[in-house]
Structure 1
Amino acid sequence: MSSMPTQSTYITSHKNYSNEKSKVMPQVVINTRPVERAAPLTQHLQAAGLTVVEMPMLTLRPRPTTDLDIALMHQWLAGEYKALVIVSPTAAASGLVAWQSLEHEKRKYKTKDGNDKYAQSLLEGLSLPSPLIAVGEATAAEFSQVRIDTTSYQILQPETANNEGMLAMPEIDSLQAGDKLLIWRGLGGRRLLVDTLQTRGVHIDSIAWYERTMPIDALTQYQQWQQAFLTHSTASDIALLKQPKPIVVISSAAAFEHWSNIVNDSQSTTVDEEQDSDAVADIEQRLSLTLKDFTYVVLGERLANMVAAQQLNYWRVEDLSPDTILSAIHSKI
């Protein structure tokens, strides 16, 4: 865990500054979660009195389903895996669509001569061929929208909604050499679960239902926010403005890479514009923020190490629940 981050102070010169009172701005939190996952955190932080800016650093884009993906699904339905691990709500939703489609085809084929039997089979729900492990509540909730027969196996969740929490589950901890595990996921992401199990000799198959890309308007959105933030921070009617560093919530290596690129690109653009300008602008018009002008809330050891390597201030959390993130922020404000 890093030490308490220092606060940046932006000072605007003013001829009557000694007669003005200090004004403390509210804490700004930048939520970089994908659009589909941002709302619960934003609402929770806003309810706690924080100013939240939604600035997605990831767009979740569906990937085409391949023949190999379908083959792995057939193997899972045939009971060849000790468990199915699902690492996100998006993976759950995408995999569920494929599962329903395959089950629909199978049942229709088996009951093609008896429509009543086919209708009855649909009412019985989807049958789990192995334990299903959902990383968190939002992921598990995707399966509440359909009827699933849990007579033989249950939908399980770890106590802590992350890779470490899943590794501690008996269903995962008991896996040994030769056992097979299937994972529904997005392209990329943390590898702690996979790497740990492969070291034990467990065979891992995975289906990447989606990929993470940078939103096309991310740079423009950041630059617009930065301009408004700096303009507000250096407003001439404020003599002394004590401005805490904006806090950026980062949940993945891909999101941090995109954020870093955007901040650095925006800084380079500002420098180029200054050099091309004939007139020297006021200081507030020339300023641009750097990565060190922010404080970070990051998920897990891998991401914490990435942020620490750039000598940035951060708070590490072990899960992305709104309560956990708010507690981390309040522990340092």
Structure 2
Amino acid sequence: MTTAGRRILVARPAAQSGRLLQLMAAAGWQGQSFPVMEIQPQPETLAHLPQQAAQADWLFFVSPSAIDVAWPTLQAQPPAARLACVGQASARRLAMLSGQDILFPTAGSDSEALLALPQLADVAGQRWLIVRGQGGRALLADTLRARGAQVSLAEVYQRVDGRPDWRLLDDGLPDAMVLTSSEMAEQLFRLAGPARAGTLQCLLYCVPHPRIAERLQALGATRIVTTRADDDALVAGLREWFSRHP
């Protein structure tokens, strides 16, 4: 059964939506960028990043944005530290940029899955640098410290309001919207305001983690497809949904 002709809004920052929009076009869908947040690098933090990285045994990149923002600063003097991240797509990109083997969990795409890896069972005395945005989750840092590691943070970017084109929502409901973080879900409803809350609660959402689905449910959404954390999986999940709900 064909699923062509669907219209999907992608709420990621515009710079991170290109490949997903291409996959949607290949599926015969109309993917449209609908950035509810953008990523703003923090120059002062980035200026100190090479020195921090040189003192670390491990660098952990929390998100694709952390890689995109931090690596251009690090590539002039690539760190000797071992590299870790979550998500297969992030691992592929980080491996391509660094030329290193990347530690990442294959059984999940979050801090919990990383912490379950045997390589993190005994980290006493190791120096970890967590590269992230401002206000990230504390679970990884707290758990590593509890296991005896020395943990530092490099908050290399902050999330700022995006400028989505609300006509893409107001002029007719899309078939689905892709959200890839809990912060995106919260930002979407905040920017939309009470007048659009009912519309947002009616939409079908595609998300790459149960935690995002839980946040959407708390905001009143009821139709949610949860997939793995990569672009191909997001498209496959939507394709399966559309084939079962023509």
Tell me the secondary structure at the aligned position of residue 104 of structure 2.
Answer: coil
The verdict on how the C-alpha distance between 1:194 and 1:317 changes in structure 2, with shifts beyond 3 A counting, is farther
Give CA-to-partner distance per residue, 1:55-97, whole Å, 9 cap, x none. Answer: 0111111113249x72x6435314xx33111233442344334
Contact kept in structure 1, 2:41 and 2:156, CA below 8 Å: yes
Query: Is 2:108 aligned against 1:133?
Result: no
- What is the identity, as a one-letter code, of the residue corresponding to 2:182? A
RMSD: 3.1
**CA separation of 1:66 and 1:27: change in aligned 2, threshold 3 A:** closer
**In structure 2, C-alpha distance between the alignment counterparts of 1:226 and 1:75, rounded to whole Å:** 44
Instruction: Call closer, same or farther: CA 1:144–1:323 in 2, change over 3 Å.
Output: closer
Alpha carbons of structure 1 residues 93 and 56: separation in structure 2 relative to 1, 3 Å: closer
Counterpart CA distance in 1 for 2:69 and 2:10 is 24
Q: Which residue of 2 aligns with 1:55?
A: 34
Gaps of 5+ in 2: none
Following the alignment from structure 2 to structure 1, what is the Cα–Cα distance between the partners of residues 42 and 59? 20
Residue matched to 2:209: 300
> Is contact 1:264–1:290 with CA below 8 Å preserved after alignment?
no
Is contact 1:189–1:252 with CA below 8 Å preserved after alignment? no
- Say if 2:94 and 2:102, in contact at 8 Å, map to a contact too: no
> Retained in 1: the 8 A contact 2:36–2:191?
no
Among residues 101, 104, 108, which one is paired with 1:158 in the alignment? 104
The answer to whether structure 1 residue 229 and structure 2 residue 151 are counterparts is no
Structure 2 counterpart of 1:203, one-letter code: Q
Among 86, 111, 123, the alignment partner of 2:61 is 86
- The question of 1:264 aligning with 2:159 is answered no
**How far is the alpha carbon of 1:139 from its aligned partner?**
5.8
Please tell me the residue identity of whatever aligns with 1:253.
Answer: S
State percent identity of aligned pairs: 24
Q: Higher relative contact order by CA 8 Å / sep ≥ 6: 1 or 2?
A: 1
Residues of 2 paired with 1:188 and 1:299: CA distance?
A: 20
The superposition leaves residues 224-259 of structure 1 with CA deviations (integer Å, 9 ceiling, x where unpaired) of 2233216xxxxxxxxxxxxxx631111112211121
By how many angstroms is 1:41 displaced? 0.8
- Verify: 1:40 aligned to 2:19, yes or no: yes
Aligned twin of 1:253: 182
Gaps of 5+ in 1: 1-23, 104-125, 231-244, 269-288
Kept in 2: contact 1:63–1:211 (CA 8 A): yes
Q: Which amino acid aligns with 2:27?
A: A
TM normalised by structure 1 equals 0.60
Comparing 193-202 with 255-264, which one deviates more in the overlay? 193-202
